[in-house]
């Protein structure tokens, strides 16, 4: 969703509410993640004392494989983000979002933010025992004697 910020840059106190969803088809090409629900995005963009702020929350559900036992499971996430938006910038600075022609592409910003926030390790539960390194049985469901017999 492209948002024009011309009015927000020019009027102190101006505010714009944001509430929409990024469809699952739009995020379907992201490797390793299957979005079960659309990414719900709610927040606002506002000008406080001449500085434009973007604050929003994303909520979504993913289907992922456990990194220990390889079982598929669904997990729901909710993340909060805030950024300062500028119309131009001298040099490189990752602390700000630069509006391209007084507008920003909010879908691109939100998807980048949520991907950077996702955990690097997905566990179906905190105490997941994983798979036996010898026979491959799921140690959450059964106990094998492979490790005991090698000791």
Q: Which two tokens stand for residue 77?
A: 């996430």
| pTM of the shown model | 0.83
CB atoms within 10 A of CB 140: 16
Band of residue 106 on the pLDDT scale cut at 50, 70, 90: very high
Task: Please tell me whether residue 80 adopts helix, strand or coil conformation.
Answer: strand
pLDDT at 41 over 90: yes
The total of other beta-carbon atoms located within 10 Å of residue 110's CB is 23
The CA distance from 88 to 97, in Å, is 9
What percentage of residues in the chain have a pLDDT greater than 70? Answer: 97
Alpha-carbon distance of 42 to 36, in angstroms, equals 18
At residue 6, the pLDDT reads 87
pLDDT at 151: 41
Q: Beta-carbon neighbour count of residue 67 at 10 Å? A: 14
């Amino acid at each position: 969703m492209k948002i024009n910020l011309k009015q927000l840059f020019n009027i102190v106190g101006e505010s714009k509410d944001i509430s929409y969803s990024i469809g699952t088809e739009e995020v379907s090409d992201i490797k390793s993640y299957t979005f079960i629900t659309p990414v719900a995005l709610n927040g606002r963009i506002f000008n406080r004392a001449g500085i434009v702020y973007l604050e929003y929350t994303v909520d979504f559900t993913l289907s992922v494989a456990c990194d220990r036992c390889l079982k598929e499971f669904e997990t729901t996430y909710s993340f909060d983000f805030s950024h300062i938006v500028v119309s131009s910038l001298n040099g490189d600075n990752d602390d700000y979002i630069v509006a391209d022609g007084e507008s920003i592409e909010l879908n691109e910003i939100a998807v980048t933010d949520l991907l950077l926030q996702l955990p690097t390790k997905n566990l179906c539960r905190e105490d997941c025992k994983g798979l036996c390194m010898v026979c491959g049985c799921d140690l959450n469901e059964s106990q094998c004697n492979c490790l005991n017999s090698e000791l």
